[in-house]
A and B are shown apart, each in its own frame.
Chain A
Amino acid sequence: MRLDQLPLRQASRIASIDWTGLAPREAQRLRELGFDDGVAIEALHRSAMKGPLACRVGRMIIAVRRKVAATDRNDPA
């Protein structure tokens, strides 16, 4: 399931990331922040009016826009 559709606080793992759907800089920052196949992920908060969402990746909380979140597909943990 895509990160932007993931129910809040449901423990999951990153299955794949569509790196081609991201700008090179965005892709690099995502990698630096720990996005990688198999990493534990959990959607935590969604802001109003389709604003960004906060998710836990590993032990870090990251804010991403939904468009970027849509490139991330996850399996239940």
Chain B
Amino acid sequence: MNPSPMIALVGNPNAGKSALFNALTGARQKVGNYPGVTVERKVGRMALDDGRPLELVDLPGTYSLDPASPDEQVTRDVLFGRQAGERTPSALVVVVDATNLDNHLRFVLQLVALGLPVVVALNMIDMAERDGLVIDIARLSAELGVPVVPTVAVRKRGLDELRAALGRAVGGGGKAVFATGEPEDITKLQREARRIADAVTVQQHAENAWTQRLDRVALHPVIGPILLAGMMFVMFQAVFSWSQVPIEWLASAQAWLADTAIRTLPDNLLRSLLVDGIINGVGSVVAFLPQILILFFFILLLEASGYMVRAAFLMDRLMAGVGLSGRAFIPLLSSFACAIPGIMATRSIDDPRDRLTTILIAPLMTCSARLPVYAVIIGAFIPAKRVLPGVGLQGLVLFCLYLAGIGGAMAVAAVLRRTVTKGGGGGFLMELPKYQMPVWRDVALGLWQRCLIFLRRAGTVILWVTVVLWVLTSYPVAPEGSGIKQSEYSIAGRIASVLEPVVRPVGFNHNMALAVIPAMAAREVAVSALQTVYSIDAGDDEKVGQKRLGLRLRGAWSLPTALAFLAWFVFAPQCLSTIAVIRRETNGWLWPAFTLGYLFVLAWCAAGITFWTATALGL
């Protein structure tokens, strides 16, 4: 069977490509990776009106065919049929921002010259109309020599016409003609693009007034940074306060499951595995899904509204102080959700040394996997009182932990840029897109994908680590009446005993040493590990699922110990998946090994300083 024709969606960044991709394919999309590089490959299926199926690939946005960064390289290689694991496209849909014709048309000219069938989607035509721009579409089509279809991707306008034009384009076939040719002179093409834009723009009024008005506040030298800090603060407060109710629901569901299992199953090993290992172990991690989704919700919102690039603008001066650019701020902010997409987002940084530095410090941004750890410890040891109207002490501590991560990252970047990643420096040159109302459907789709990724992780990595940990903590069984704790007598306990002398000086007990090891696989496992260890030691699993982990910890740990554990996780050596991504990104084991080493040293020192200071203060 012939595979369905592949259509590539190409265009400048901010042309509304992803919105069009979502509108055309709906939920029928798959997010993966191109082999060998961590550039995200988004592919979806759609059908033409006559029923013919098409495969639509959303290529990374780029300004030209002369790539400056790894993601732009992928776009170029796919278009030229050189990307491993990808077919040469049968046709291109070039997405153009109707309000920014003079610039976007230059790239269209480059793409039309490739000789593949092209359909131009003149997107955001509604915004052009609102800006008072009137475009002669027939003339534009004649000038470019390809069909032009006006679209409003976010409102699904013009999609039928686009599908019809695609049907005609795919029917005709075509082949790239200058796949090895020299790229044309940018300035010449740019002037030609401006000529066409002038010729087809019948009427032109003032620019986007909204963006101007908002930017006067958002980019103000004083108000701008305050607004950014305020927004970050609200975001982290929301992560804590909005999630309380859904977390309670999940915790109740988990308790009900555990109780039901205890009531209905005979008291044997299988029940212990199911209750201690799976329900309470995995459940204690899944309980944090609401917080992770709230964090992603804010990040998706910042990206979709166009504010994220403004944040990069505001942060550039600070980032320049440590040898980076504001551009690094975007991957770093994404790393608050997860270091993996964060490290992947560094592909848009063109300077290799800037990029390497950003990759190395990305794990210091507090990822959502650390939230379960923070949440349990903060919940157990920090009183839930208000320090200011609307500001809770717990949220404030969480905010400080995030600040510690950021401060640490900046300090490490400053050191790295003066030592191991010295030299270069890519500067800061970015387009500030117009502000847009986020499309709720697209935000929901993004959240849904994150939710699936998290649950898949909980169902695989976290489940297996939890089960293995349960086995290692349950065997061999401590002799009855010996007074030896099971968590110390078991295999895991003996392994932890080896690590214990290293972490004892920083206030960690045996169970914490035990929890820190599996947390290397996935940080949130620290919570399920503690849960499993304390459940097994309790020896009375009737109470499991009723007695909360926080209460147990409060009984077992001192406040300096708890604070040291929090400080450890600010810098904790990251999860295995992050190491794997760093290895793939940097093509070798040197940088992942370096990252592991420096993070371990930092984590130990931070935990130590916290523990010693807190003890000295008599906390």
Contact = CB atoms under 8 A, between A and B. Distances in A.
| A-B complex is real | yes
Interface of A: 23, 25-26, 28-34, 36, 39, 44-52, 54, 56, 58-65, 67-68
Interface in B469-513: none
B102 A62 contact: no
B225 A48 contact: yes
Interface in B102-119: 102-103, 106
B426 A59 contact: no
A20 to B, nearest CB: 15
A62 B431 contact: yes
Given A54-B432, A64-B429, A29 B221 contact: no
Main secondary structure, interface of B, reads: helix
Given A48-B225, A65-B427, A65-B428, A58 B102 contact: yes
Interface stretch (B169-177, B184-192, B564-572, B586-594): B184-192
B317 A48 contact: yes
18 contacts: A25-B68, A29-B63, A32-B106, A33-B63, A36-B190, A44-B215, A45-B221, A47-B219, A60-B100, A60-B103, A60-B431, A61-B432, A61-B433, A63-B326, A63-B428, A65-B429, A67-B427, A68-B427
Interface string B405-447: 0000000000000000000001111111100000000000000
Contact of B316 (A33, A34, A44, A65): A65
A47 B215 contact: no
Given A62-B432, A65-B429, 17 more contacts: A28-B64, A29-B350, A31-B187, A32-B63, A32-B186, A44-B212, A44-B215, A49-B317, A52-B326, A54-B219, A54-B313, A58-B194, A59-B100, A59-B102, A60-B103, A61-B211, A65-B320
A49 B219 CA distance: 13
Contacts of B224: 47
Contact of B215 (A34, A45, A48, A67): A45
A58 B315 CA distance: 25
A44 B68 CA distance: 27
A62 B207 CA distance: 14
B103 A59 contact: yes
Contacts of B426: 25
A59 B100 CA distance: 6
A49 B326 CA distance: 14
A70 to B, nearest CB: 12
Given A28-B68, A47-B224, A34 B432 contact: no
Main secondary structure, interface of A, reads: mixed
Contacts of A34: 102-103, 190
Given A36-B187, A44-B215, A59-B99, A26 B220 contact: no
A26 B430 CA distance: 11
A59 to B, nearest CB: 5
A25 B194 CA distance: 22
A67 B325 CA distance: 13
A33, A56, A63 — which one has the most chain B CB atoms within 10 A of its CB? A63
B542 interface: no
Nearest to A45: B219
A52 B389 CA distance: 36
Contacts of B103: 33-34, 58-60
A73 to B, nearest CB: 17
Given A28-B68, A45-B215, A45-B219, A33 B317 contact: no
Nearest to B193: A34
B10 interface: no
Interface string B357-378: 0000000000000000000000
B222 interface: yes
